[in-house]
Each structure stands twice: as structure tokens, then as C-alpha cells.
Amino acid sequence: MTSQELLDDIAAIRWPDGADDAAENRRAFVRRQGAEAEAHGPHRDPLLTSLADLVAVKKAADEQIRLLLAYGRVYVTPRPHTLESLGQAADLTPSGVSRAFGAKEVMTVGTLTDRRPAAVVADHNPDDIPGPESRRRCTWGGSRKNPCTEPPKYTVTDKSGTKWSCCDTHLPAYLRSRPTP
């Protein structure tokens, strides 16, 4: 098999006939592979390069899906989307939706949209919370017999107005427990 046949086959698989701009995408792919061969030598494998490119696209899409799930569950008001509706749209089970995103994604969405979650979340400040336990560990998660030992990263407010320390692990559970305005 010649290298041109290999490139043509890979391009045909990635951009099948009938796809929008298939011919142009195929030509651009062949040009890019030629430029990479000149820059990195003829031993650069276009099949492995194509797989690596698609893995990067998949990872980026997965990240965007997690961010949109966090947005739909935490930021949409007056009522968040249900786990079921988000799961149907994302081809996940409801429990898969609840595990798909965490505190990192919730805070990233806030940064990207310049919004705050409907729940009250702030950076942890030991002076804002009474009690020695809340100063050194997460007091929102765990139980009396099995307390969470992770260091606090956030201060959260419960429905009665009481402030608690919260870690990255337990922030999603806190957000799910909050009514939206």
C-alpha cells in the first residue's frame, strides 16, 4: 500500500462521501499530513496521528458535555433540568449525569458565564464558620461515625442559614440539595 493510498483511505473514513465539505476536508487532511511529514520526517504515521487527533476532539467534547450538564443542573433557573432530561439528551442514566460533573465543572461554568450557582457557595474562610471542626475539615459531607476528613475548600449555607465547610467531593451533593430560586 502506498502512502498516498493510506492517506486517501484514512480521509475517506474520517470524511465519508455525503458529509458536509467532505472533499475539502479530505484535501486539507492530505495537505496537513504532507506538511507534517516534511516537518517531522517520513516515518510519521498518518493513521496514528489521525487517531490522536480524534481522541483530542473526543476529550474536548466530553469536557464540554460535563460543563453543559453542570450548567443545566446547577445554573438554570427558576428550575434546573432534571437528571432524567439531561440523561436522555446526553445518552446517560440519571445517576451517570449526577456523577459526570463535580465542583471543578460547576466552578468552571461560573467562571465562563460570570454567574453564581443558585446555591450559596463561597471560598472557605475559617473565620466565617463557628466551631473548630469546620475550620480544619469538610463538615457538610460524611456522618458522625464516618466524618469527611478532606480539607475544606468552600463555605456553603444550608436551608436554615447555617454555614458549613465543604470539600470538592461533597460540593455536588450540596448543590443537588439546594432549591433553586
Smallest CA-to-CA distance from 170 within 149, 180, 161 is with: 149
Do 112 and 144 lie in one domain? The reply is no
The whole domain housing 37 covers: 1-44
Do 87 and 142 lie in one domain? The reply is no
Do 40 and 91 lie in one domain? The reply is no
Tally of structural domains, the chain: 3
- What letter does residue 131 receive in the DSSP assignment? S
Q: How confident is the model at residue 142 (pLDDT cuts 50, 70, 90)?
A: confident
Do 114 and 65 lie in one domain? The reply is yes
Whether the pLDDT of residue 54 is over 50: the answer is yes
Could you count the other beta carbons within 10 Å of the beta carbon of residue 64?
A: 10
The predicted-structure confidence for 94-123, as pLDDT tens digits, reads as follows 889 888 988 788 888 888 988 766 666 778
**Does residue 49 sit within a domain?**
no
Do 128 and 154 lie in one domain? The reply is yes
CA angle 73–74–79, rounded 5-degree value: 70
Smallest CA-to-CA distance from 153 within 125, 111, 131, 174 is with: 125
Do 114 and 70 lie in one domain? The reply is yes
Q: What is the pLDDT of residue 170?
A: 87
Q: How confident is the model at residue 177 (pLDDT cuts 50, 70, 90)?
A: low
Smallest CA-to-CA distance from 101 within 65, 132, 139 is with: 65
Query: Rounded to two decimals, what is the model's pTM?
Result: 0.61
How much helix, strand and coil, in percent to the nearest 5, is found in the chain? 55, 5, 35
**Does residue 34 sit within a domain?**
yes
Looking at every residue in the chain, the average pLDDT score rounds to: 82
